[in-house]
Structure 1
Amino acid sequence: MTKGAFISFFVAASMIPATLFSQSPSSEYQGSPYHDSRYQAGAQKIPGKVFCAYYDLGGEGVAYHDTDPQNHGSGELNPADGSYLNEFRIHEGVDISYTKFNRKPNLIDDNPFNKVVPPADLPYVGWTEPSEWFNVTVEVAQTGTYAADFLYTSNRGGTISIDVNGKDATGPLDITTTNDPADPLPWRQWHHWNVAGDLFKVTLSKGKNILTVHVLTNGSMNLAYFDFKPVKK
């Protein structure tokens, strides 16, 4: 599925205050690293996997922008039944679901049309639309250049971009469609997982940085995580 959280580079500039990151990554920013009773990690670590579903706390217009306030995953696709995953961030506009395995007879995220098999019960941002964005606070171990692999699905291709501390760092990034006409179940086109290896490279400073993920065109993507690794000199 897909419809979740980002904004085009040009629209983002008009919606995020220009002074937001003017002095340091956190001097004016009112968001904060995600945490809850189960997830206590704080700022996500680089090198390592940066999970999209653990975008920052702070709400609409601060930590994210979504095109509507309804979470179409938690509490809608996934019924509110008291379970952690079905109700994950249920009251926020970013649309979140999680990978589901062993759902027979119609396999979902462990289907034979995957390019890669994702981890089970992995929360991800979905239902993405152009003009949506979200922020993720990260803690970088050492100043340097990092390459990022991207775990995702895309029903029809599209573009995203990444800002670092309020400045565009990548330009538009082409996301290859994972649509496979051989799959007999049309709804499963949103569940063909793939990894885009070395999707982009960015230079990051040691310490806290704020990454902003934007959906630029098409949407209809599931965004799981970016896996950052230092680029060897």
Structure 2
Amino acid sequence: MHYIKLLTAVLFACVLFYTGCRKDRGYYDYSNGSNVFEGNTYEFLKAQHQYDSFLLAVDRLQLTDSLKTGRYTVFAPSDASFKQAVENMNTLRRIQNRDYIYISSVPYEQLDTLVCRYIIRDTVTSGRMQLQDGLLLSAIRYGYPMHGKFSRTDAEGHVGGGPGIITYSDTKGVIYTNRWSKSSTVAIDIQTSTGRVNVIEKDHMFGFDEFILRMNPTVSTPWNDFPMFIPGVIGLEQYNRGGNKVGYLDFSLNNQGGQYRPAEQVDIATSEEGGLKVGWTETGEWMDYSVEVTTSGAYDLTLRYGTANDNGRLHLEMDGRPVVGSAFIMPASGSYQSFRDIKSTVQLTAGRHLMRIYYDYAIYDLRFLKFVRKDQPMTIPGVITMEDYDQGGEGVAYHDANTGNNGNKYRTSEGVDIDFAKNEGGGYQVGWTETGEWMNYTVEVKETGFYTVSTLVGTNRDDGKFHISFDGQNATGTVQVPNTSDHHKRKVVNSSVYLTKGVHVMQFYVDNGGFDVKSVTFRALN
């Protein structure tokens, strides 16, 4: 009798254990069976019915064939991981009165960045991750650095006597492990016909703690790789990333101009004088820009706009505080299709800032802002706008092969040929260049060191060349201008220089003409 009771208890416990395992669909079904699946990696994930969100993202990113035929290792996040991330994100968006977004509608480039971290190049077994420091792993795209470390858990009183797990980490591209974002596996080394699969614990939140930040940013980020330099030109269509109510506020349902950033709501159209403009403006809207002011002091500020009406009003803010002198009251320019400049002087503080342009009374179209240091040299690091060469005239500040300004758009009484830049970025560019022409710029180098030199050029020819000198010494060597197919379709060409702290005369020299040049940007190499 005692034996029968004992047997019954054991069988009952087994039933409970089995039932509990069956309820938990966050774990790999075959953890107690064979770790070999006859089909490919994609087919394995699909057969489990636990990775549908991950496969939706894979399909959207056109990685399906990679998982069907390629030799890859997948660290598979379950549907529970996606559900947790998406629900948390949309809870925050609801509080902010913003539309919900899902895996099928999040920004493609952000989803691509995150999903690729779960797919590793090559088939990597846990045995290869047993090194003391683990193993650095390379993501399927961009070679993004992930990390895997195999270890055994403790069990039955034995240290390292339990099942093996992999600690899978997003290194964030840094060597400091305390800054890594980590997750653990619940099943490892599942072999498919094409690769390997490791299953990540169901409590892992998809995106390694970056999902909400990327999909629902509360702080906007620059449109380009870096904040825009001041002094310099800011094309107003290049407002920050982050979306409506983060990078900008726009009341329309879509981009009514549709000519730039068409998926967003700021209304951008082609300007009648070339380049782009922000139109269909409404009172209370705004746009943010990450900027870097190179030097504290006074700046001449120019706003280019068009309107058929008087009394349009706007102002600038830096880090949430109004910029004194930036509150413009704009007289009519003739129409929304004709443009004029309005100017002011403002005081700015060196450093990185969030600049906002705020529409106090919006009855205008906007082209660009331009900041120039008042009666001071241009600064390096910073951007040198080519139309702002030194004062002094022909043979002193510049040499031009003809006496007229062929573009006739800026400094019209002088010989350098200046036209509006005809695509994104706003401002002007120097064109009609001829061999032997040059322009001088007095600059102030803030620190001694190496600098990258990024020159924005455009041409439909193959033979354009230039060099940049400082105090008469050729600093860049001859730089070849690439054929960009059009003078107003620009491309960055890079070189490097070593500069010493202090005031210098920089000269841009045309070794072989036939190209347009918009700007030269200097950034410290370190």
Which category of TM-score, normalised to the shorter sequence, fits these structures? 0.5 to 0.7
Query: Aligned residue for 1:30?
Result: none
Paired AA for residue 149 in structure 1: S
User: Any idea what SS the aligned residue of 1:142 has?
Assistant: coil
Query: Aligned residue for 1:194?
Result: 491
1:94 to 410, 416, 420: 416
Distance 1:126 1:141 in 2: 30
Asked if 1:67 corresponds to 2:361, the answer is no
User: Any idea what SS the aligned residue of 2:436 has?
Assistant: coil
Query: Aligned residue for 2:498?
Result: 203
1:47 to 371, 377, 381: 381
Query: Aligned residue for 1:21?
Result: none
Query: Aligned residue for 1:165?
Result: 471
Distance 1:64 1:40 in 2: 19
Distance 1:207 1:95 in 2: 30
User: Any idea what SS the aligned residue of 2:387 has?
Assistant: helix
1:222 to 510, 513, 516: 516
Distance 1:133 1:155 in 2: 21
Query: Aligned residue for 1:15?
Result: none
Asked if 1:143 corresponds to 2:429, the answer is no
Asked if 1:119 corresponds to 2:425, the answer is yes
User: Any idea what SS the aligned residue of 1:190 has?
Assistant: strand
Is there any run of 5+ residues in structure 2 with no aligned partner, and where?
1-299, 303-342, 344-370
Distance 1:60 1:72 in 2: 15
Seq. identity, %: 36
Shift of 1:170: 2.0
Is there any run of 5+ residues in structure 1 with no aligned partner, and where?
1-34, 75-85, 101-108, 110-117, 180-188
Distance 1:166 1:36 in 2: 31
Paired AA for residue 205 in structure 1: T
Distance 2:489 2:514 in 1: 12
User: Any idea what SS the aligned residue of 2:456 has?
Assistant: strand
Equivalenced residue count is 157
Shift of 1:151: 1.2
After the TM superposition, list the runs of 4 or more consecutive aligned residues in structure 1 that deviate by more than 6 angstroms.
none
Shift of 1:40: 4.5
| Larger helix fraction of residues | 2
Paired AA for residue 208 in structure 1: V
Paired AA for residue 192 in structure 1: K
Query: Aligned residue for 2:525?
Result: 231
User: Any idea what SS the aligned residue of 2:432 has?
Assistant: coil
The RMSD of aligned alpha carbons is 1.8
Shift of 1:36: 10
> With structure 1 as the length reference, what TM-score do the two structures score?
0.63
- Within a 5 Å distance, the mapping from 1:97-108 to structure 2 comes to 97-100=419-422
1:164-197 per-residue CA deviation (whole Å, 9 max, x = no partner) reads 1111112211111111xxxxxxxxx22211122x
- Residues 421, 518 of structure 2: 8 Å contact kept: no
Q: Which has the larger radius of gyration?
A: 2
Paired AA for residue 173 in structure 1: V
Distance 1:175 1:99 in 2: 18
Distance 2:416 2:301 in 1: 16
The structure-2 alpha-carbon separation of the partners of 1:176 and 1:70, relative to structure 1 and needing over 3 Å to count, comes to same
Asked if 1:213 corresponds to 2:508, the answer is yes
